[in-house]
Amino acid sequence: MKRDSRLSSVLHALLHMADHDGPMTSEALACCMSTNPVVVRRTMGLLRKAGMVSSERGHSGGWRITGDLNRITLRDLHDALGEPAVFAIGNKTEAPECLVEQAVNAALDDAFAEAEALLLSRFQNVTLADLAANFSRRFAERRQTKD
Amino acid sequence: MKRDSRLSSVLHALLHMADHDGPMTSEALACCMSTNPVVVRRTMGLLRKAGMVSSERGHSGGWRITGDLNRITLRDLHDALGEPAVFAIGNKTEAPECLVEQAVNAALDDAFAEAEALLLSRFQNVTLADLAANFSRRFAERRQTKD
DNA sequence: TTTCATGTAACTTTGTATGTTACGATTCGA
DNA sequence: TCGAATCGTAACATACAAAGTTACATGAAA
């Protein structure tokens, strides 16, 4: 199944933006994420609606983080992207008449609901600042290895 | 995103088979699952390889459960189906060079791994016999409502 | 006023699950 | 032995969604 990689993409973009002075253009972001500027605008537009970034048109325009890195969590981003479906596995029929299938759906739905709740609670516990710190650690480690 | 509904489908099929004397043909199973006989064979074939069902060709042939309903778990079925990807969300790149992206992937992978582990452990705690019992309860309840 | 940027609609491409057709292989019963 | 029923499987078709692309309008700055 083709996976939705927008969360991964916007995280990548946001961290680059956090590490960059001034606004970054869709083109620049697209470049470091090996995708397309239009895709960037489309996705970042959702974050703008959620108040996490702002955009400016024209000369020296581009995208800027407006939120607090310590406050924006992965969960917030997931929500901003429209809470896309988490699972690639699911029921064949959503509201079946067959009692057998209802029993099957109920069991699967329970398990999926628990797993989704756990995933989202983990998402809620990770902020952009955490990720930025994690990146800094990796960066320092690599320098050390090279010396 | 289009979801893989094979687990749901085979569960439905297996419970019908459990409630039926003698083998059931692919056609009969396809009918009660509103799908196609070839799809049934394709999917049930995977369960056969895992020793959960057997098939017989020719007159009065069809599919039969060979395993113990108390021993076959949802996890076993998931495995028999080839452990398909659980999540519809994922990383943009699996092994990126960019350290920023590595930090992002690491955080997401952690969360996904935890959620997947929980899901699979839930799957492991549910047997076909449990589902059959659940169905019987629903069946009894519906009769009561109708009386 | 030209250039650089976003905003967005419309369309194309690509990947994957599912559905379908076709036919061979096997088994049973008449 | 023959024919109908049934699985086994390859090959192809369909459907749908994510991502990519094109095109052009809009707005801001030099």
Nearest Cα to B28, choosing from B19, B37, B20?
B37
B89 close to A4: Cβ distance less than 8 angstroms: yes
| pLDDT of B37 higher than 70 | yes
Backbone dihedral region for residue B20 (phi beyond 0: left; psi -120 to 50: alpha; all else: beta): beta
pLDDT for residue A144 is more than 90: no
What is the pLDDT at residue B142? 78
Whether residue A141 is predicted with pLDDT greater than 90 in this model: the reply is: no
Note whether A39 and A46 are within 8 A (CB). Answer: no
**Cα–Cα distance measured from residue A86 to residue B112, given in angstroms and rounded to the nearest whole number:** 10
pLDDT at B62 over 90: yes
User: B6-146 sits in which CATH class?
Assistant: mainly alpha
Contact residues on chain A for B126, CB-CB shorter than 8 A = 107, 111
The full DSSP string for B45-60 is HHHHHTTSEEEE-STT
Backbone angles phi, psi at B108, to 5 degrees: -65, -45
pLDDT at B112: 98
Q: Which of A72, A68, A60 is nearest to A7 (CA)?
A: A72
**CB distance B129 to B70 below 8 Å:** yes
**Shortest alpha-carbon distance between residue A38 and chain B (Å):** 17
Tell me the mean pLDDT in the region B70-92.
Answer: 97
- pLDDT tier at A147, thresholds 50, 70, 90: low
pLDDT at A120: 98
Residue B146 reports pLDDT greater than 90: no
pLDDT at res. B141 = 83
* Average pLDDT in chain B: 94
Q: What is the CA radius of gyration of chain B?
A: 19
The one-character DSSP state at B95 is S
Cβ contacts of A8 within 8 Å, gap of 6 or more: B89, B90, B91, B92, B101, B104, B105, B108
pLDDT at B68 over 70: yes
pLDDT digits (tens, 9 = 90+) for A50-66: 999 999 999 999 999 99
Helix (H) or strand (E) holding A141: helix A128-146
Residue B91 has pLDDT above 80, yes or no: yes
pLDDT of residue B144: 78
**For residue B138, pLDDT beyond 90:** no
**Residue B119 has what pLDDT?**
98
A73-89 pLDDT tens trace: 999 999 999 999 999 99
Share of chain A above pLDDT 70, in %: 98
* Closest residue to C16 measured CA to C1′: A1
Residue B147's pLDDT is: 63
C-alpha A101, offset from chain centre: 34
Question: Is B56 near strand D, with its CB below 7 A from some atom of it?
Answer: yes
Quickly state the pLDDT bin for A92 (edges 50, 70, 90): very high
Burial class (CB in 10 A: 0-12, 13-18, 19+), B32: middle
Lowest-pLDDT range of A58-62, B88-92, B94-98, B141-145: B141-145
Residue A1 has pLDDT above 60, yes or no: no
- Going by C-beta distance under 8 Å and a sequence separation of 6 or more, which residues neighbour residue B126? A107, A111, B73, B74
- Reported confidence tier of residue B143, pLDDT bands at 50, 70, 90: confident
Cβ-contact A44, A53 below 8 angstroms: yes
A5: pLDDT confidence band, cut at 50, 70 and 90? Answer: very high
Footprint of strand C, using CB within 7 A? A 1-2, 25-27, 37-38, 41-42, 44-45, 48, 55-63, 88, 92; B 2-6, 9, 34-36, 38-39, 56-61, 84-85
Q: Cβ(B5)–Cβ(A90) under 8 Å? A: yes
Query: What percentage of chain B carries pLDDT values higher than 70?
Result: 98
Is residue A146 predicted with pLDDT exceeding 70?
A: no
Percent of chain B with pLDDT over 90: 88
Check: CB of residue A120 under 8 Å from CB of residue B108: no
Q: Which of A87, A136, A138, A142 to mutate to test the interface with B (most CBs of B within 10 A)?
A: A87
Residue A48 has pLDDT above 60, yes or no: yes
Please, what is the average pLDDT of chain A? Answer: 95
